Amino acid sequence: MFYGLAVDCGTSNLSLSLCRKGRPEQRRDLTAKNPCLRFGADVITRAANAEKNENVRRLLVEELWQCVAEGAKTLCEQEGVRLTDVRRISFCANPILTHLSLGLVAVELTRFPFSLKNRFLNFKQSAPFDLSRFGFHRRTRLFVAPLVSAFVGGDVLLGFADDETDEPSHFYADLGTNGEMILKTPRGLFAASCAAGPAFEGGLVRCGMRAEEGAVEHAEYQDGAFVLDTVGGKEARGLCVGGLVEVLLAAFDAGLLSPNGEVKNEPLCIAENLTLTTEEVRAVLLAKAAFRAGARVLFSAANTSYETLCRFTLAGALGEHLNRQKAAEFGLFDPELLRLAKPKQNAALEGAARALWDRAFRRRCTTLARSTRSVDLASDPSFNETYVNSISF
């Protein structure tokens, strides 16, 4: 009785899924903080530290895979099996994290012109290091999702491939620390990425959190105070993405925020122990501006329009408990695009789990990685113009 472990390595979080061979519906999931956060809040900082210090590069690998092993052991104990029963690991991440997780320094990914030398890093080969020292079986094989470009990684590719249908047009957006997007059109596949920062993943916003019990998911401002609805009806512990958007909209409508995000009476008090500063509000506004501008430029580069789109999959943290109407009012995306938005949670993890045992799916991912055209947003002058015009409320 063999098991596989799917790993979605994000900038801030690790998501794991234990899958029994032959029973894809039988899964156990777990989420943990990425231990490599201590080497840099963003991947560029981590890559720079790894490049300068070989010991940091070694620790990035050791601590990441030790965390993966500990999470896998917890899942195995819940399932009543041993860690050595895990014989395959499917791993996906953004391009820089993929390299760092394998002990590789990718200088070309962090410096102009940001080129990707190799899309396929041991995707069908054994791991470049011995996983048995972390407690896995010595024959456990590691498969790494192929990369699309220097900015769009295997996590987005697997999520898109798992969600793919025969429809002629499909927009897939995984909006976390980096806004990574794939657009399928009759003319082919196009991909782009925009740096948004971790504001929508609980970073840069002290009271930010995932959509767990106690997370504010809806908010209104009435009679001088916020009226909050939380996940599970519990006491408010923090703001998930949907709650964050609605708090900011309600605060702006009530005159508590200026159009550029300045808190008029700082800090903005939402509930006991829940506050927002001007710096935090502006971090969110910058992130949403990046997403909106990125989508516009990607559609323009593909020579297509929102009106011809059949599907829009909203993956990542933004897909959780997000009201589409409120998101449109906030300016996260253009209203014409958001009308089609369908959230999909754990999209990359779903794809990674499928890749464990589905050889045809892995071949499809390889084909997609080779055929997708990368769009450089930074070189398009309309991106900066749209970005700046989209920052304010």
pLDDT of residue 384: 92
pLDDT of residue 347: 92
- In the 8-state DSSP scheme, what is residue 208? B
Contact status, residue 47 vs residue 105, Cβ threshold 8 Å: yes
pLDDT of residue 124: 39
Give the percent of the chain with pLDDT over 70.
Answer: 95
Q: Is 4 left (phi over 0), alpha (psi -120 to 50) or beta?
A: beta
- In the 8-state DSSP scheme, what is residue 373? E
Q: Quick check: 322 pLDDT over 60? A: yes
pLDDT of residue 202: 65
Helix H or strand E segment including 32: strand 23-33
Domains of the chain and CATH, by start: 3-144 (3.30.420.480), 165-393 (no CATH)
What is the mean pLDDT of the segment spanning 186-200? 86
Q: Quick check: 128 pLDDT over 60? A: no
Candidate from 21-30, 53-62, 72-81, 88-97 with smallest mean pLDDT:
21-30
Give the percent of the chain with pLDDT over 90.
Answer: 68
Mean pLDDT over each residue of the chain, to the nearest integer: 90
pLDDT of residue 126: 36
**Around 183, how many Cα atoms within 13 Å sit in the side-chain half-sphere?**
27
3-class state of residue 360 by DSSP: helix
0.85 exceeded by pTM = yes
β-strand partners of 219:
228
Q: Quick check: 183 pLDDT over 90? A: yes
Q: Quick check: 138 pLDDT over 60? A: yes
Helix H or strand E segment including 99: helix 95-101
β-strand partners of 179:
175, 194
Predicted confidence (pLDDT) per residue in 325-380, tens digit: 888 899 988 888 888 888 888 899 999 999 999 999 999 999 999 999 999 998 88
Q: Quick check: 204 pLDDT over 90? A: no
Q: Quick check: 173 pLDDT over 90? A: yes
Query: Which of 127, 193, 186 is closest to 156 using CA atoms?
Result: 193
